[in-house]
Amino acid sequence: MDSNTIRAIRHDRQIRKFSLYGFLKNLKFFEPYLVIFLFAGGLNFFQIGLLYAIKEIIIYIFEIPSGVMADNYGRKKELYLCFTFYIISFVIFFFTQSFFTAALAMVFFGLGEAFRSGTHKAMMYTYLEEKNWEEHKMLVYGRTRSFSLIGSAISSILAVALILNIPGSRYIFLASIVPYILDLLLIMSYPESLDRSGVTCSEPFMQALVSHMVRIFKRPKLRRFLVKAATFEAVFKSVKDYIQPILGMLLMSSGLALLSEFSLDDQLKIVLGITYGVINLFSAFASRNVYRLQSYMVAEKMVNLFYLAQIICFFILYWTIRISQPYLIALMFVALYLIRDMRKPVLIDICGSLMKKEERATVLSVESQMRALFTVVLAPAAGFIADKAGVGLAMLCIGLLLLLVYFFVPNSVEDPCDGNNGLTREQH
């Protein structure tokens, strides 16, 4: 890569705004404690899985329409709605006392996710085109993603201080509103050139939606790529929070004498906050530097290797949970996060090369919608198995499912070793 271009990217004001956006968005102080909060309210793994399914159903319903709306009626307006929905969700979580109020909070959280996913990435693509930096997508997204993960790490550490000093755990949701208001103000400062895709659609909304979908699914490589990307992400989202209480209890059982002045409940909160902070710091470093792997292998080969690594992690998790090895379980937990956060910039690089300009938010929304559909099935199923047969068996079942997808869905890309050097890129 040209060193002058890399330097320009690192010092670009709008790229810094993109990074700050991700940093603020990930200041979700409740994240390390969400499952514990729900368990304290009397919910089990299956009910928590249902809550995640409700969220994903909302995403499934609104995902693609929101992408088309963003491409045709304004991306900034869409993000304004997105953060409004998030804030409403946090307020409802604060008042949550039952499964039904938690479900309502998840509905609004799902609306926020649906209106956000794909939209901000599409704005980044547009800006890179304006600056003629399209070939540096992996570097830029890896950089902005690393700031998001640094935000998650700082959020986890701050969450420990907050959770130990607030009247009750529910107040953590009110604290999470503040960075989201700041993010909303930041988006208002984005240039107007990023508000539209640059392509005006004269078709009626539903006609535009259908035509976009038909064009996307007529491209086999893009279709296969989207299936594997969505499966990978759905699996991660379905189980990462179920592991949270198991990891916390196992770490607690290993002995924490230096925290003996705290109650068992507070010790668990401290351990989880620090664990999440460390995980996100490692993930930030990995995401920031994954572009360096381009010197050794093409992006398409990286994607398949990451997929295989995820499968191996789930099989090892099954074994380590069965033999009750807390440190190995923690290591696999870290590995799953690292794999996911290294894979994301690579996916964005490939996906950006496969998409047409006017379809970007829509294509990214299609991937997110497919992920939502898979999560609707996987989250309750994983929760049910965890309740009835243990978390270990749930990990084994997920590993087997990923293995089936890997072998029965053809590679989304050409084998990098076959002489074709990867994908045949779409013409933009």
**pTM reported for the whole predicted model:** 0.76
Q: Is residue 58 domain-resident? A: yes
Segment 127-143, tens digit of pLDDT:
888 888 877 777 887 78
The yes-or-no verdict on residue 158 having pLDDT over 90 is: yes
CATH of the domain at 310: 1.20.1250.20
Q: Residue 427 falls within a domain, yes or no?
A: no
**pLDDT, average across residues 261-279:** 79
pLDDT digits (tens, 9 = 90+) for 97-131: 899 999 999 999 999 988 887 788 888 888 888 88
- Identify whether 420 is part of a domain: no
Q: How many domains does the chain have?
A: 1
CA triplet 157, 159, 162: central angle to 5 degrees? Answer: 120
Average pLDDT, the chain: 80
Of the candidates 122, 123, 114, the residue with the CA atom closest to the CA atom of residue 65: 114
**Domain enclosing residue 218, as ranges:** 11-414
More confident residue, 197 or 304: 304
- When mean pLDDT is compared across 5-19, 288-302, 325-339, the lowest value belongs to 288-302
- Residue 193 resides in a domain: yes
Q: Give me the mean pLDDT over the 86-98 stretch.
A: 94
Question: What pLDDT band is residue 208 in, cutting at 50, 70 and 90?
Answer: low
Residue 365 lies in a domain: yes
Task: Supply the pLDDT for residue 423.
Answer: 39
Residue 241, domain member (yes or no): yes
> Which of residues 322 and 71 earns the better pLDDT score?
322
In a domain, 27, yes or no: yes
Classify residue 208: in a domain, yes or no.
Answer: yes
Most confident by average pLDDT, 201-215, 332-346, 389-403: 389-403
CA distance 232 to 267: 33
Q: What's residue 416's pLDDT?
A: 36
